[in-house]
Structure 1
Amino acid sequence: MKGKRKSQCKIKQQRPAPGGIVRSEDESGTSDGEETSSGRIVTAMWDFEQCDPRRCSGRKLVRFGLVRLLRMNEGFGGIVLTPTATSVLSPDTDREIMTAGGLAVVDCSWAQLESTAFRRLKFRHGRLLPYLVAANPVKFGQPLQLSCAEALAAGLYILGESAQAFEMLGKFGWGHSFFEVNSERLDAYAACSSTTRLLEVQQEFVAEADSKKQRTKSGSRSYADVYAELDDEIGDTEFSPTESDQHCPRLEESEVDEEEEDSSVSVPQAVLTITTNETSTMRDACTSAQHSSAAVPPASPPSILPPFHEPTEPEIQEALSKQVTSLVTQFHRTKLLNEAGANWDRFYKRNGTRFFKDRHWTKREFTDLVRLTRPIQSSSQPDSTCPLCILEVGCGVGNFILPLLEEDGEQNGEAAGAPEGTDQSDASKSHNSPDSSDKMESDFSVLGSPRIYACDISERAIQMFRNRANASGLSCCAFVCDVSKPDAIDLAIRNTVTTCGTDVPDAVPQFDLVTLIFVLSALEPSSMVVCLRNIASVLKPGGRLLFRDYGLHDHSQLRFGRCTRLYPDVASYARQDGTLSYFFSVDELRKLFDEAGLVTQHCDYVYKQTTNVAENLAVRRVFVQAVASRPH
Structure 2
Amino acid sequence: MSTSNEKNDKTWNGHDLDGKKKKEHWNNNDLEGKKWVDMNTKYSGATTEKSVIDQEISNETSWDNVDWDFVKEQTAKYILEKETQVISSEEKNKYEQNAMNHWDVFYKNNKDKFFKDRTYLHLEFPELNPMSLNRDQTRIYFSDKKENPQVQQSNNSNNNNNNKNNNDENEEVENREKEEKDEIVEEKDKWWKFVTELKKDECKGTVMEVGCGAGNAVFPILKINPEKYFYAFDFSPNAVKLVKSHPNYNEDRLTAFVCDIATQQLPMFIKDNSIDITLMIFVLSAISPERFDHVLSTIYKSLKPGGVVYVRDYGLYDLTQLRFLAKQGRKLDEHFYLRSDGTRTYFFTKEILQAAFEKVGFITEFSSYETRELRNRKRMISMYRVWVRGKFVKPLEETNNNNNTTTTTTSTSTQ
TM-score calculated relative to the size of structure 1: 0.41
**Residues 1:483 and 2:247 aligned together:** no
The alpha-carbon distance between structure 1 residues 533 and 302, as it changes in their structure 2 partners (threshold 3 A), is farther
Pick the aligned partner of 1:591 from 355, 366, 373. Answer: 355
Among 24, 29, 36, the residue aligned to 1:307 = 36
1:521 alignment partner in structure 2: 285
Partner of 1:566: helix, strand, or coil? strand
Q: Which amino acid aligns with 1:318?
A: Y
Summarize the alignment of residues 312-461 of structure 1 with structure 2, pairs less than 5 Å apart.
Answer: 313=73, 315-323=75-83, 325-366=84-125, 368-370=126-128, 387-405=204-222, 408=223, 446-461=224-239
RMSD: 3.2
> 267, 275, 278: which one pairs with 1:511?
275
Shift of 1:453: 0.2
Name the aligned partner's letter for residue 467 of structure 1. S
Distance change >3 Å, CA 389–CA 614, structure 1 → 2: same
Alignment of 1:152-301 (within 5 A): 278=15, 298-301=23-26
CA contact (8 A) 1:453 1:478 kept: yes
Does 1 or 2 have the higher relative contact order (CA < 8 Å, sep 6+)?
2
Residue in 2 aligned with 1:547? 311
Instruction: Report the equivalent of 1:33.
Output: none
Identity of aligned residues (%): 31
Structure 1 portions without partners, runs of 5+: 1-274, 285-295, 375-384, 409-445, 498-506
C-alpha distance in 2 between matches for 1:603 and 1:535: 18
CA contact (8 A) 1:573 1:582 kept: yes
- Structure 1, residues 478-523: CA drift from partner, whole Å, max 9, x if none? 111111125x12xx2x1x56xxxxxxxxx66711100001000000
Task: Give how far 1:469 is off.
Answer: 4.9
**2:144 alignment counterpart:** none
In structure 2, do the counterparts of structure 1 residues 329 and 302 end up closer, same or farther at CA, with 3 Å as the change threshold?
farther
User: Structure 1 residues 566 and 301 mapped into 2: Cα distance closer, same or farther (>3 Å)?
Assistant: same
Deviations 1:391-446 (A, max 9, x none): 000000000010122xx2xxxxxxxxxxxxxxxxxxxxxxxxxxxxxxxxxxxxx4
Deviations 1:186-245 (A, max 9, x none): xxxxxxxxxxxxxxxxxxxxxxxxxxxxxxxxxxxxxxxxxxxxxxxxxxxxxxxxxxxx
Q: Does the C-alpha gap of structure 1 residues 300 and 539 become closer, same or farther in structure 2, counting only changes over 3 Å?
A: farther
1:631 and 2:395 are equivalent in the alignment = yes
Which of these residues, 336, 340, 348, is aligned with residue 572 of structure 1? 336
Deviation at 1:475, TM superposition (A): 3.0
Number of equivalences: 279
Give the C-alpha shift of residue 592 in structure 1.
Answer: 0.6
SS in 2 for 1:452: strand
Q: CA deviation at 1:330?
A: 1.4
How far apart, in 1, do the equivalents of 2:80 and 2:321 lie? 9
Q: Is the 8 A contact 1:469 1:475 kept in 2?
A: no
Q: 1:450 to 1:315 in 2, by over 3 A?
A: closer
Could you tell me how far apart the structure 1 residues matched to 2:251 and 2:381 are? 43
Amino acid at match of 2:82: K
Structure 2 residue identity aligned to 1:321: E
Larger Rg: 1
Q: Distance in 2 between matches of 1:404 and 1:342?
A: 28
2:299 to 527, 532, 535: 535
- The residue matched to 1:559 in structure 2 has which SS? helix
Q: Is contact 2:208–2:278 with CA below 8 Å preserved after alignment?
A: yes
TM-score, with structure 2 as normaliser: 0.61
Q: What one-letter code is carried by the residue in structure 2 that aligns with 1:398?
A: G
Could you tell me how far 1:316 is from its partner in structure 2? 3.7
Cα 1:588–1:280, aligned 2, differ >3 Å: closer, same or farther? farther
Summarize deviations over 1:50-71 as a string: whole Å, max 9, x none.
xxxxxxxxxxxxxxxxxxxxxx
Secondary structure in 2 matching 1:620: strand
Query: Shift of residue 279 of structure 1?
Result: 9.8
Q: 1:586 to 1:280 in 2, by over 3 A?
A: farther
**Structure 2 runs not aligned, ≥5 long:** 1-11, 42-70, 133-201, 397-415
DSSP-derived class of the 1:584 partner: coil
- Other structure's SS at 2:36 match: coil
SS of 1:391's partner is: strand
Task: Identify the residue that residue 562 of structure 1 maps to in structure 2.
Answer: 328
Shift in CA distance, 536/353, structure 1 to aligned 2, threshold 3 Å = same
- Letter of the 2:81 counterpart: S
Q: Report the CA distance shift for 1:471/1:510 in structure 2 as closer, same or farther (over 3 A).
A: closer
Contact 1:276–1:608 under 8 Å retained in 2:
no
Partner residue of 1:259?
A: none
Aligned equivalent of 1:287: none
C-alpha contact 1:395 1:456 (8 A) present in aligned 2? yes
Alpha-carbon distance between aligned partners in 2 of 1:398 and 1:479, rounded to the nearest angstrom: 12
The 8 Å contact of residues 532 and 596 in structure 1, kept in 2 or not, is answered as yes
Query: Which structure: greater helix fraction?
Result: 1
Alignment partners' CA distance in 1, 2:110 and 2:384: 28
Counterparts in 2 of 1:472 and 1:448: CA distance versus 1, 3 Å: closer
Deviations 1:146-204 (A, max 9, x none): xxxxxxxxxxxxxxxxxxxxxxxxxxxxxxxxxxxxxxxxxxxxxxxxxxxxxxxxxxx
Counterpart CA distance in 2 for 1:300 and 1:572 is 39
Give how far 1:461 is off. 0.3
Cα distance in 2 for partners of 1:541, 1:278 equals: 41
Distance 1:513 1:345, change over 3 A: same
> 1:590–1:600: 8 Å Cα contact kept in structure 2?
yes
Aligned twin of 1:248 = none
Mapped to 1, the partners of 2:27 and 2:255 lie a distance apart of 48
Compared CA separation, residues 359 and 326, structure 1 to 2 (3 A): same
Partner of 1:614 in structure 2? 378
